[in-house]
Structure 1
């Protein structure tokens, strides 16, 4: 039975997505501050990919399982998705408080694993939450609003790094094996934002009760034995993959190259600026934060502007063009040594990031059933973390033996992969025949 969903006002859609701000602030710190912390604590550059394997592994395991569990959850008091992203936010906040005080490298690596579990618990149900609440005609606005908050969260994270490095970093000589105290403040802000923004959305946005058919399925799941209930999410994931529409397999092909390239970019901007601009680790980290600051400002500006463009020209074309633009930006960055001019390519990167964070979710949400939206959003995330996992396992040796331990070559490699993903995105066609029943 299809649930008739009322259209929401702009501010209702805004309020339901505020919690994404805190989640993305945390991811912003992971993109920009985590790898410099690893370098401060003595990690070799060729180890950066494998040290970041926590993200792919926890995403691969946590998101589809949490998605399947949330599909079979309902509480009149707490809702369906909200309990999961609330617990994830609390876990993430605790890790963010502890992270900058890491005494040794492997302590920081362990905290990254726990932080990623919390972030993934919060992230996946939030994607399904938007699909649950909005009628199809508002899905593009809902997911592009999430894209706006992706930009805002990462913008605040990286803006705080730049600000605190300017205010408290000074000309202090960086001591080997220690994390500078100016980095602490950004993590403390993130810990507060993670929980407060989620609480705001939880309190402001009621969830739509499940249909009678969904309630029957939920109660049937609750009546099973503990062993059967533990096994149920894995059965749901397996069955959903078997029934997955061809469209999602095509998205997976795009994501293979797109997310492999993104992980290279996030890991190697700091080493790149140490090489091309002769910066120290702290200066390179600050420059990397400015890059992220710039492209996320662009993301915030263009995120909602992409809604009418996708409606007019189709999500496929806008998405593919954005990936080609991102490739151009990565080809340009290694050859610009001026710290101001190197921010210019981030305009194209920011447009691409806005499209990546919204358009695929809109298209996928239209071809998956309501009662399995959580598990399919989890499977979509598997398509993100699998290429990231492949990158963490393969790119270290590629960087060391094929690319000559050269961060310039790493960035060009990522540009090639973005080009491939753009061509693959041209194959994305949403068809009613592909909808799962």
Structure 2
């Protein structure tokens, strides 16, 4: 086909995805060590989940904004690469400053800055694959990103342990961060900047005119974008605002779990946003970027709406694993809930090994997944991988020896690699080239929202449905992965492209 993008070589795909190694290095250091930093600086366990909402909240705000502007950017460096570079600069600076925080508020502020900066770099990377690769190679591109995510996570998660093994001090006085953590963050800053910098200097981008030519045939087949009316925005606003306000009042009056404020306030804010856009539309004001993103949200392609459910259930399950695996393993497999006991700390350390393991298995799975796609197509391959993940979650109930939980992590690794690649491969082929960035940013809503919901209700589910037994949160996660797999079969994509 004359207007189809040419295939890229293995090393061209490698170069354009290599920056994800650095980005994931930063994410993994954050995930493994920020709670430790918060606790060292005096945060209690009830406060830590609220401090952690920086990730999903900045994802909700930053990714669509960066996507919108990167779609409209063209410089000597290209379209997406300026965002790679400047995001890397600020993320690297944050990694250096974070472990030198002397008080809790400073560490919390650095987490928000770090998350925002990482999102500036990460969001255009998803669009970068859609920009540069033909549809049939997009699964390879997203699988390559999954490979680098796995490799970066394993090395970064184990870095403090590795440094301690080589004699770096793992102890510190009250309110001080150990040298192992500080040096790990310094190394992470260098790795992130170098890896992203390699992608910036070794990759090329198509000009907007070239992308428009490649997209010409698909654009003719897409329905025109209909601007949402002021009446529709105002009606939708109250459907979100009223439940949010009533819910927040109910939480206050009945002294319910304060985590519920996250859900109720989020609903109310989305209602207020629609009121603002509706007022602007009624006044016939020219559309700005904010209005455009909201219109694009309500005009998502049908495939994207269907994939939203796949992502929702997938990331709800992942958040359940991240929150509750330590409590589940220490209680069930090591028989202790006393955080000061030797058994508890052995179990917690083993969970760190398990998390490194599933990321390692994900890197291996990223090599296998393109073959699964060739054999079964995108939707069925994703179903298979999600079912493997669900089996891994469920196996925590029947495995007694914690060493054998490494087998469980094989399934989790396949699911993780698939979640990070195949939904994007299904999505990218249906998006217009001139909105690739903003739609990839909007797609991140369906990663952030389930995490916010999980942070709100998972504790209540475990408390009231399972008598505070955290291992059953993994059962909830398994069911959620099965639902995600079923939803993936319902995606009406006609782009069953093979890797």
Q: Structure 1 length normalisation: TM-score? A: 0.87
Contact persistence 1:64–1:379 (CA under 8 A): yes
What residue number does 1:243 align with? Answer: 299
How far does the alpha carbon of each residue in 1:113-132 deviate from its partner, in whole angstroms, 9 at most, with x for none?
11110111111101111111
Long gaps (5+) in structure 2: 214-285
**SS in structure 1 at match of 2:73:** coil
**SS in structure 2 at match of 1:33:** helix
What residue number does 1:12 align with? Answer: 12
What residue number does 2:355 align with? Answer: 292
How far does the alpha carbon of each residue in 1:43-95 deviate from its partner, in whole angstroms, 9 at most, with x for none?
444544332211111000100110011001101x1110011121111111111
The answer to whether structure 1 residue 395 and structure 2 residue 451 are counterparts is: no
Going from structure 1 to structure 2, the CA distance change for 1:102 and 1:255 (only over 3 Å counts) comes to same
Contact persistence 1:297–1:350 (CA under 8 A): yes
What residue number does 2:198 align with? Answer: 200
What residue number does 2:438 align with? Answer: 375
CA distance in 2, matches of 1:174, 1:342: 32
What residue number does 1:65 align with? Answer: 65
Contact persistence 1:49–1:391 (CA under 8 A): no
Contact persistence 1:22–1:153 (CA under 8 A): yes
1:25-424 pair list within 5 angstroms = 25-75=25-75, 77-168=76-167, 177-211=175-209, 232-275=288-331, 276-277=333-334, 278=336, 283-284=346-347, 286-333=349-396, 336=399, 338-399=401-462, 403-424=466-487
* Offset, 1:316: 0.8
CA distance in 2, matches of 1:162, 1:411: 27
* Offset, 1:29: 2.1
Going from structure 1 to structure 2, the CA distance change for 1:351 and 1:151 (only over 3 Å counts) comes to same
Contact persistence 1:164–1:182 (CA under 8 A): yes
**SS in structure 2 at match of 1:295:** helix
Q: Which moved more, 1:396-405 or 1:342-351?
A: 396-405
**SS in structure 2 at match of 1:430:** coil
What residue number does 2:238 align with? Answer: none
* Offset, 1:370: 1.0
* Offset, 1:348: 0.6
Q: Structure 2 length normalisation: TM-score? A: 0.76
Going from structure 1 to structure 2, the CA distance change for 1:249 and 1:165 (only over 3 Å counts) comes to farther
* Offset, 1:406: 4.0
Q: Which moved more, 1:336-345 or 1:256-265?
A: 336-345
Contact persistence 2:161–2:180 (CA under 8 A): no
**SS in structure 1 at match of 2:208:** coil
Contact persistence 2:314–2:484 (CA under 8 A): yes
- TM-align CA RMSD: 2.8
How far does the alpha carbon of each residue in 1:380-411 deviate from its partner, in whole angstroms, 9 at most, with x for none?
11111111122223334445555555432333
Higher relative contact order (CA 8 A, sep 6+): 1
Q: Which moved more, 1:109-118 or 1:160-169?
A: 160-169
* Offset, 1:263: 1.5
* Offset, 1:214: 5.8
The answer to whether structure 1 residue 431 and structure 2 residue 494 are counterparts is: yes
* Offset, 1:176: 6.2
CA distance in 2, matches of 1:379, 1:253: 14
